[in-house]
Amino acid sequence: MPHMKLAKGGSADLVVLDGDRVSLRSTEAFAPGAPLAGNLETSSLVRVKVHRCRRQDDGFLVEGRLVDATRRLREELSALLVPSGDGSAGAKDPAS
């Protein structure tokens, strides 16, 4: 199930969250500089200013920065990237 339903139609999954920078795997393409908006399952609005969009397999990798993101929204987005228990989500070991 996708993390986000896009306002212009389609869906997107959060792939990377690094401060304000995000990468999304989207079913729709976005031009650089374009606004991307969508809602999480919790109805929280996510707004992104697109920096780059590249075609990948069956979708698009959209990179950009969060716009007007609250602490609560950042926490919600971080929770979407929690590893599934097998460590496959790329979580870094704090001991390394």
Report whether 60 contacts 54 (CB < 8 A). Answer: yes
Q: How many Å apart are CA 38 and CA 94, to the nearest integer? A: 33
**What pLDDT shows up at residue 85?**
53
Summarize pLDDT for 34-66 with one digit per residue, the tens: 999 999 999 999 999 999 999 998 999 999 999
In the chain, pLDDT over 70 holds for what percent of residues?
84
HEC-encoded secondary structure of 25-36: EECCCCCCCCEE
CA atoms within 13 A on the CB side of 1: 3
Average pLDDT over residues 13-29: 95
Domains for the chain: give ranges and CATH numbers: 4-80 (2.40.10)
pTM of the model: 0.81
Does 96 score more than 90 pLDDT?
no
